């Protein structure tokens, strides 16, 4: 391909450009495993916005659990990255002792970059699979409108970054768009302090209290599932949609 300033460059074509598409932009991306060219394509079709229909699902993101859904699904944070993370920390500490500009330092930097990719690639993969499994059965998905950049600066700092919530939300919204699932962000305030069954304000829960137990109506479930159900209800009522009163979700996994 011919690129501005670089001229003719040889590249490995990993897939064909589909018929009817025009290349609008080429981006060269440098990763630890090599240089990649990313092509943006354009095609002249109208993509209809998905109309909200089907099963509404609310999602609560957290640190104790990666996420909880209003259907009672609890997903733990993946542990398989912990080993790589420790290795990464170790290498980064070692980097301090290496002289600037030395070849040893250069070698170590390359090693860190490769390891970093080994951490981020599986995480992305895991997040895609999770997003697909959630979007598969849903007609509408609602999440809290959280600015994760602010979150990352606060007390949740390390954990939030490890968990990669912001990346997951953008992957989820993309998967929803692909599958014709309605995706929407709703007001995040007090989602863990309201009863999803009767709207009663239960007040702030202590962090170690994992159970939602409403003193008003007696509804009991995992606190993160309760929060996810509040998020679902908000998404539904925000648009004046009919709030489906079905038997309350059973929680899979331990409370």
- Residues forming contacts to Zn ion in the complex (CB under 5 A) are 195, 197-198, 200, 214, 216-217, 219
**Shortest approach of Zn ion to residue 254 CB, angstroms?**
22
Q: DSSP letters along 155-176, please?
A: TTHHHHHHHTHHHHHHHHHHHH
**Shortest approach of Zn ion to residue 69 CB, angstroms?**
19
The residues with which 211 forms a beta bridge, in sequence order, are 222
**Cβ contacts of residue 216 below 8 Å, gap of 6+?**
195, 198, 200, 202
- In eight-state DSSP terms, residue 142 is E
**Shortest approach of Zn ion to residue 202 CB, angstroms?**
8
Strands 140-144 and 56-61: parallel
* Of 141 and 231, CB closest to Zn ion: 231
* Of 150 and 217, CB closest to Zn ion: 217
**Shortest approach of Zn ion to residue 233 CB, angstroms?**
12
The CA-to-CA distance between both ends of the chain, in Å, stands at 56
CB atoms within 10 A of CB 74: 21
* Of 68 and 131, CB closest to Zn ion: 68
* Of 42 and 199, CB closest to Zn ion: 199
**Shortest approach of Zn ion to residue 195 CB, angstroms?**
3
Residues 84 and 90: their CA atoms lie apart, in Å, by 10
* Of 127 and 229, CB closest to Zn ion: 229
């Amino acid at each position: 391909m011919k690129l501005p300033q670089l001229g003719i460059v040889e590249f490995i074509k990993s897939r064909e450009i589909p018929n009817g598409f025009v290349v609008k932009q080429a981006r060269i991306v440098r990763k630890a495993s090599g240089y990649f060219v990313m092509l943006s394509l354009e095609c002249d079709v109208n993509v209809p916005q998905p109309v909200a229909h089907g099963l509404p699902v609310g999602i609560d993101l957290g640190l104790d659990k990666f996420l909880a859904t209003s259907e009672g699904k609890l997903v733990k944070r993946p542990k398989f990255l912990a080993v790589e993370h420790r290795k990464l920390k170790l290498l980064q500490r070692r980097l301090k002792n290496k002289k600037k500009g030395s070849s040893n330092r250069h070698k170590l930097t390359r090693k860190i970059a490769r390891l970093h990719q080994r951490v981020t690639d599986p995480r992305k993969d895991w997040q895609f699979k999770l997003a697909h499994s959630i979007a598969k059965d849903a007609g509408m998905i609602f999440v809290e409108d959280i600015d994760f950049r602010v979150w990352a600066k606060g007390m949740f700092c390390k954990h939030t970054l490890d968990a990669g919530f912001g990346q997951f939300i953008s992957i989820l919204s993309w998967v929803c768009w692909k599958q014709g699932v309605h995706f929407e962000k709703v007001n995040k305030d007090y989602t863990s302090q309201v009863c999803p069954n009767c709207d009663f304000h239960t007040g702030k829960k202590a962090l170690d209290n994992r159970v939602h137990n409403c003193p008003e109506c007696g509804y009991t479930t995992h606190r993160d599932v309760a929060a996810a159900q509040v998020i679902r209800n908000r998404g539904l009522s925000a648009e004046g949609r009919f709030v489906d009163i079905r038997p309350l979700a059973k929680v899979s996994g331990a409370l």
